[in-house]
């Protein structure tokens, strides 16, 4: 089968297409014929060997996919050959077939295309947990989403608006913020030209109820400083580069709750919360929610597509179409 391969750690240009042996279904696992795979920021970290966990060389990158079950391993229940599913793996999705633990795939919510289903799984589930499962967002509350035009960010804006929250989107350009406006954000802040803390306080009056932060770096602290007494701050990632060091007196003085979410371990350890979140998302999909996909590339162009993610060029999710 054809697969994207990393044979030496580096950048997008080091990802090549090769013929490799197709996977076989092992106990507890399924093999999926991949129709589409979505790119995520951590793919770049894994390719560069800068992720929290290394992938031994050579490997196939890609974590998020949609397709049909091609083979079912011993002990797997509830999944059959031909079922349309989407799933997430540590690596291996940018290929014609992927081997995945049965617990890491689930039926595609009715109404989503394969491209949409691939783009939906990681970002929307992460965003849902940030907002609902641990963010405890209520209608009419103010939520600030940093990196709001990115994968997790745009999903958080989309879900929060649909749940009746008041959304402040923060991103790095008017074009990126226009996407957030289209998703229903009530207010937008360009954090490269405006004072983030000041603007959040101005817009909300009393401060934000919840901050969702996939960016970290120099944006985390001003956003935290703009939270109201008793508000919440959810740490999702550090796309900006630096892991911020927060003065804990800020957390103490305003009784702020800071929580982290790591989807991979969360899903493995808390299957019931994960199932509840999927149900919540399926309800929103039934009401018309769809992930924003700004680019679809062929598998042959995966290096170009990864470079665009590295350049922060896309305004929404980038998907690789693997098969028709």
Ligand X SMILES: NC(=O)c1ccc[n+]([C@@H]2O[C@H](COP(=O)([O-])OP(=O)(O)OC[C@H]3O[C@@H](n4cnc5c(N)ncnc54)[C@H](OP(=O)(O)O)[C@@H]3O)[C@@H](O)[C@H]2O)c1
Cβ nearer to ligand X, comparing 76 with 234: 234
Cβ nearer to ligand X, comparing 181 with 312: 312
| Closest CB 132 distance from ligand X, rounded Å | 15
Contact in structure between 39 and 320 (CB atoms under 8 Å): yes
| Closest CB 25 distance from ligand X, rounded Å | 27
| Closest CB 123 distance from ligand X, rounded Å | 6
| Closest CB 20 distance from ligand X, rounded Å | 26
| Closest CB 298 distance from ligand X, rounded Å | 20
| Closest CB 276 distance from ligand X, rounded Å | 17
Cβ nearer to ligand X, comparing 174 with 206: 174
Cβ nearer to ligand X, comparing 70 with 306: 306
Residues at the site binding ligand X, with contacts judged by CB under 6 A: 40-42, 122-123, 126, 147, 149-153, 171-172, 176, 214-215, 236-241, 261-263, 309, 312
Cβ nearer to ligand X, comparing 171 with 220: 171
Q: Which residue is nearest to ligand X (CB)?
A: 150
Cβ nearer to ligand X, comparing 239 with 319: 239
């Amino acid at each position: 089968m054809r697969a994207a391969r990393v044979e030496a750690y580096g950048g997008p240009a080091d990802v090549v297409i090769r013929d490799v042996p197709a996977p076989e279904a092992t106990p507890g696992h399924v093999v999926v014929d991949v129709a589409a795979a979505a790119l995520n920021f951590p793919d770049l970290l894994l390719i560069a060997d800068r992720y929290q966990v290394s992938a031994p060389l050579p490997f196939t990158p890609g974590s998020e996919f949609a397709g049909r079950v091609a083979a079912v391993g011993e002990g797997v229940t509830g999944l059959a050959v031909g079922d349309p599913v989407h799933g997430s793996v540590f690596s291996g999705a940018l290929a014609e077939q992927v081997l995945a633990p049965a617990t890491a795939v689930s039926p595609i919510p009715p109404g989503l295309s394969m491209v949409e289903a691939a783009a939906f799984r990681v970002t929307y589930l992460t965003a849902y947990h940030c907002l609902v499962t641990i963010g405890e967002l209520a209608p009419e509350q103010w939520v600030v989403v940093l990196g709001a035009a990115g994968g997790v960010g745009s999903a958080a804006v989309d879900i929060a608006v649909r749940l009746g929250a008041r959304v402040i989107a923060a991103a790095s350009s008017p074009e990126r913020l226009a996407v957030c406006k289209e998703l229903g954000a009530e207010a937008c802040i360009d954090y490269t030209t405006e004072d983030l803390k000041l603007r959040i306080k101005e817009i909300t009056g009393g401060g934000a109820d919840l901050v969702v932060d996939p960016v970290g770096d120099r944006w985390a602290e001003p956003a935290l400083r703009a939270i109201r007494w008793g508000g919440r701050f959810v740490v999702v990632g550090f796309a900006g580069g630096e892991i911020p060091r927060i003065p804990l007196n800020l957390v103490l003085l305003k009784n702020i709750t800071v929580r982290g979410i790591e989807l991979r371990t969360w899903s493995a350890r808390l299957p019931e919360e994960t199932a509840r979140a999927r149900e919540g998302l399926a309800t929103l999909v039934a009401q018309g929610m769809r992930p924003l996909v700004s680019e679809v590339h062929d598998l042959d162009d995966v290096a170009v597509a990864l470079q665009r993610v590295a350049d922060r060029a896309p305004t929404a999710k980038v998907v690789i179409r693997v098969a028709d």
